[in-house]
Amino acid sequence: MQLGGAPTGTAVRAGGSVIYLDTSVALAQLLAEDRCPPARLWQQTLVCSRLLEYELWNRIHARSLAATHGELARQLIGRIALIDLSPPVLARALEPFPMPVRTLDALHLASLDFLRGCGQSVSLASYDERMLACAKALGIPIHAL
């Protein structure tokens, strides 16, 4: 797996267009699943909630892949600007969504909403149909994979 694009610690500026990378896409890339994001995705400015780091490592450890996939996971995580779960993000996650969502999806969607509220142009890259449906209902543009 090769990840191109911006180096670790990429800053996200308000007003620029970014892609919110859902964990389903990161896992597909990392684990070389049947569906894999296009190489051009890794040339874009990518953002995600810090949850991504925990979700990736949870899956890596669950499959006993730390020895073979650990460095790739660190590279992938280092390529993404991570958003902390700040009080405004957590407060938004407590509010209702247009449809039922799982807890971690609510936190990701709240992070997306937070970025939009800060004036960031953001689209969602995801393979998760439930997450995509809720994002569409919130008016969040979908990044085609």
Q: Report pLDDT digits (tens) over 49-83.
A: 999 999 999 999 999 999 999 999 999 999 999 99
Domain ranges of the chain: 17-136
pTM exceeding 0.85: yes
Provide the 10 A C-beta neighbour count for residue 105: 21
Which pLDDT belongs to residue 14?
Answer: 52
Separation of alpha carbons 40 and 36, rounded Å: 12
- Is a pLDDT exceeding 50 seen at residue 4? no
Which pLDDT belongs to residue 10?
Answer: 42
Separation of alpha carbons 25 and 57, rounded Å: 14
CATH topology of domain 17-136: Rossmann fold (3.40.50)
- Is a pLDDT exceeding 90 seen at residue 32? no
